[in-house]
Amino acid sequence: MEQATSRRRTYLLFGLGGLLGVLAFLLVYGITPLNPAEDAFCRGGYIEKDIQQHYAGWLFYRQSDLTLPFCLTQSINYPDGLSVAYTDSVPLFAALFRLLSPLLPGTFQYFGIFTLLAFCLQGAFGALLAGLFARGTIVPLLGDILFVSSPILYERAFRHTALGAQFVLLAALYWYFLCRRQGRMPGAGLFVLNVLVITIHPYFLPMTYAVTLALLAEYAVAHHQWKKPLLWLGADLASTLAAGWLFGLFSSRASGGSDALYGYFGLNLNALWNPVGVGGTVWSRVLPVQNQVGGNYDAFAYLGLGVLLALPVAALALTIQRRLDLRGLLRRHWMLIIVCLILSVFAVSNVITANGATLIHLPLPGWLLQLCSVFRSSGRMFWPVYDLITLAAFVWLLRAVPKQQRWLPMVIAAVLAAVQVWDISPGLVQRRDAMIQANQSDAFPTQLSSNFWQAAAKNYRHIVSMDGIQDDALHLALYAADHNMTTNDPFAARYDAGVLSQVRRQTLTELDAGRLQEDSLYLFHDEGLFLQHVESIKELAWCGEVTAADGSRWYVIAPGMEEFSGDGLCTRYGDGYPLRLADYTDGLWNRGVLDSDKKTVCFADAPFTRAKLEQATAICANGQTYPITKFDDSDPGWLMITLDIDDATVLWGVELETIQK
């Protein structure tokens, strides 16, 4: 009878917690993202542009042939291809809906449905986790509000859809504490969870496996059994690797390196009380915004005022009551504490930052730096610790209440939840406003508004990008996917930069030899690179500049479009093509202007710029004439001229003319 009652309570908490998560989703997202045929919010790039990457990955995959492994598409990173796991397109859902694609409407996005499910399970497992430490149903559900209102949940769901699946961490912790309480090995739930996370996002793997290892190690020591835990772990790892293969994560076409960026995205020591999120979102009504360094923004971990107040108050009360048994915690959960320390140290990284200062930069061997950079956004590894801190604030506050006061835990839990939601409500409102705007189809006009793009869509099968377009032009990926075109650009979180660079060098060699692929549209992000290689093929294609809606420019070589007559956003390459400074910045140069004197400017060395500058006596801009006092081509790849000018930064982005001898 008692077991049946416990089971009913578990089901009730899971269901009501799930409804709480759904309510939180609807309050912030509304119902529009749940319409699979409504993709405006995917195309708009709300908060950050990553949703465009996720959606483009799905569009490319939907047009690709079905293969084993799943999730591979040749249309990205053409011709080698890539798994859409690396466009963070939620591989599990991508594979499922690719199988169902013949039954789906022409426009179909699953990211709203996935996010709803993530919120629902966040509430469900949050309620179960709180229910392990609080009686009844009302108090655990009040504690669950801390999890469904977690600032990390909203930051991630709005920025990287797959990482909105924060429920997997709550589920891992729930099964950890449940199994510890029952004195047993992990069961099917934790086994399946570890396999599942690799089909959602690989970043969750070290976190759920850390919790799993803690449970296995504590069981092995307590029961003096090592063989059974090792066999269980081996079977789970093998199944996880098999799932990774099935969804294309280990395909040779999907394997790729990444820059050694470990340390850049580390956890700032102020992260727990710093309420600033991406896009300027402020998550607190009370606490001020703190400074950050470099990529600390990706390690956002604001706890909320409720948790920040409850934790020290509860710890002090339990200490006064002599009921804060830290030794007992260490004895019972020694391995969980160890893995939390390891995750925290990894999250902080070798670049230790506090507020706006870098305190320590510990040098690491190159091989270790590269290994750690597999999970280069190291600050994310703190998330299980974050959830445990939230849980501790709730549990310790309840335990500080005298046991004879049965009604008091409910009041305290309600006050804690109310303070937490009140504090973070500005962030929730800003996120809701962002979603409302993103759902308006005209809120984010296409960057590709020139008539050039409509004409090009009819002529080409391939887009060949010659430099770093993938870094900031994901609307180009959507354009390629919409017109069933391939792109050699990965548009992905992971790719082999060395191979891509080699392919681009080979293509540039072909251009210099006057060889063009008629079914390929060549795009340049860097004007200097374009000018260096356009001269040999200018008679074989339409070559020139196409301006985007935001003022950014693409430089294009379009075979077969020699007679194309562009609109006002197109400038054809030729004698009348404008001269501009190289947009070059390093420690000495600022957008093509030498910082030390602000009189010397640089241009990319190309036939066009050399012809304009070698015999020039002055540069004209904005109705002013600036005499040239020195011409210098001693630095390979660059032309530098010194002007009689007070401050050459007035020439930034300006179309220049020259006066010839």
Give 282's DSSP letter: B
**pLDDT at residue 445, as a whole number:** 56
CA distance 486 to 176: 45
User: Phi and psi for 499 in degrees, rounded to 5?
Assistant: -65, -45
The DSSP H or E segment spanning 117 is helix 111-131
Bridge partners, 83 (sequence order): 72
pLDDT digits (tens, 9 = 90+) for 161-177: 999 999 999 999 999 99
Which two three-digit tokens encode residue 234? Answer: 């081996």
Q: Going along 365-484, which residue ranges are E strands? A: 462-465
CA-based nearest residue to 151, from 351, 389, 476, 343: 389
Note the pLDDT tens digit of each residue in 223-233. 999 999 999 99
Rounded Cα gap, residues 87 and 50, in angstroms:
9
CA distance 435 to 296: 24
Quick count: other Cβ atoms within 10 Å of Cβ 224?
6
Show me where the domains of the chain are located: 2-59+112-254+261-438, 451-572, 589-660
| Residue 113: exposure state from Cβ atoms within 10 A (0-12, 13-18, ≥19) | middle
Strand segments, DSSP code E, in 31-180 are 72-73, 82-83
pLDDT tens across 37-73, in order?
999 889 877 777 789 899 999 999 999 999 999 999 9
Write down the pLDDT at residue 472.
53
Q: Which two tokens stand for residue 230?
A: 């090792």
In terms of Cβ atoms closer than 10 Å to its own Cβ (0-12, 13-18, 19+), residue 539 is: exposed
**pLDDT in the model for residue 255:** 44
Q: Please, are residues 269 and 348 in contact by the beta-carbon 8 Å criterion?
A: yes
* pLDDT confidence of residue 471: 47
Mean pLDDT of residues grouped by 10 in the chain (661 residues)? Answer: 81 98 97 94 80 94 94 91 93 97 96 98 98 96 98 95 97 98 95 98 97 98 95 98 95 54 95 93 96 95 98 93 89 97 98 96 93 93 98 95 81 96 96 87 67 94 81 77 90 77 91 94 92 93 89 90 92 91 92 94 94 93 94 94 95 92 78
Residues near 499 by beta carbon (within 8 Å), at least 6 away in sequence = 80, 256
What confidence score (pLDDT) does residue 535 get?
A: 92
Q: Which residues of 72-88 are buried (b: 16+ CB within 10 A; e: fewer)?
A: bbbbbbbebbbbbbbbb
Q: Single out the residue of 471, 470, 474 nearest to residue 482, CA to CA.
A: 474
Query: Taking the C-alpha atoms of 491, 497, 501 and 507 in order, what is their torsion angle to the nearest 10 degrees?
Result: -40
Backbone conformation region of residue 539, classed left if phi is above 0, alpha if psi is from -120 to 50, else beta: alpha
